[in-house]
Amino acid sequence: MPTEYSLQELSRLADVTPRTIRYYIVGGLLPAPTQSGPLARYSEMHLDRLRLIKKLQAAHLPLAEIRSRLSGMADAEISTIAEEEAFPPPSTNSAADYIRDVLGGTSTHPSAALPEQPMVANVALPRMESPGKPAKPPPGPEPDRAQWERISLDPDVELHVRRPLTRQLNKRVDRLIAIARQLLEEE
């Protein structure tokens, strides 16, 4: 005999509230259960559909779109997709990469640096959403570079200093900056 669930069981397994399940039934995303009221029983097919709806929602598909996709799919197909791995989680080092790109000057133009909408923060997007992501910098002495400080002496001249410096050297660098700025300001 196929597995059957009560509304509460289905709610727990699919991790959606009973209220949402009822809303989906009314909205045509889920078929109605075999009986109504407390005796209502739901099948594995309901569970698969709910799991798939959650995945599609995570990809920011509107409910109307989800409904039309589900209506064109066989139960077996829904079951297969619902069991597949969810969309890939965001890479954990992407914030670090992003800052390296900005500070390294590979994407100084804000519109190039910010291809995504700012608010879709914590939901994994499908792969196709990020075609314009700036390329990673080539492998190189990256960890070292984080210690370098760029000091602008003039719009066209920069001094690069690797920190930390000894106190003595630091004083000399400060003098060097002062002298260099004075020199560059001379006509």
Partner 1 sequence: MPCRNITMKARSDREFIRSTYRSNRFVLAELTAPHSHVADGTERRRPPVNLAFVLDRSGSMAGEKLRLAKLAVEQSIARLGSEDRFSVVVYDDAIDIVFPSTPATTEARRAALQRLNEVTARNMTNLGEGWLRGCAQVAEYLSADGVNRCLLLTDGLANKGMTDRDELAGHAAALRSRGVSTSTFGVGADFDEVLLTAMATAGGGNFYYISETAQIADLITSEVGEALDVVARDVTLEIDSPDGVNVESLSPFPFTTRGGRTVVSLGAMVAEQVVEVVLRLNFPFGELGRETGAVLSLSAGDDTEVVAGANVSLTWAYADPKTNDLQPRDVDVDRAVARIFAARARQEATGLNRVGNFDAAQAMLLSVSKRIRSYAGHDAEMRAVVAELERDAAEVAAPMAARSLKEMHFRGYSSAKCRMVDGKAMRRKPDSA
HEC string of 5-58 equals: ECHHHHHHHHCCCHHHHHHHHHCCCCCCCCCCHHHCCEEHHHHHHHHHHHHHHH
Question: Nearest approach, Cβ of 184 to partner 1 (angstroms)?
Answer: 14
Q: What is residue 160's DSSP assignment?
A: E
Q: Which parts of 46-75 interact with partner 1 (CB under 8 A)? A: 57, 60-65
Q: Where are the beta strands (DSSP E) in the chain?
A: 4-5, 42-43, 148-154, 157-162
In angstroms, the Cα distances linking 84 to 78, 88, 116 are 10, 11, 26
Task: Answer whether 177's CB lies under 8 Å from 153's CB.
Answer: yes
Binding piece for partner 1, criterion CB under 8 A, among 34-42, 44-52, 75-83, 115-123: 115-123
162, β-bridge pairs:
148
Out of 4, 41, 73, 90, point to the residue binding partner 1 (CB under 8 A): 90
Q: Does position 87 bind partner 1 by CB under 8 A?
A: no
Question: Nearest approach, Cβ of 5 to partner 1 (angstroms)?
Answer: 18
Question: Nearest approach, Cβ of 20 to partner 1 (angstroms)?
Answer: 6
Question: Nearest approach, Cβ of 62 to partner 1 (angstroms)?
Answer: 2
Q: Which parts of 162-181 interact with partner 1 (CB under 8 A)? A: 163
Collapsing DSSP states into helix, strand and coil, what is residue 4? strand
Q: Which residues bind partner 1 (CB under 8 A)?
A: 15, 17, 19-20, 23, 57, 60-65, 90, 92-96, 98-100, 102-103, 110, 113-114, 116-123, 146-147, 149-152, 161, 163
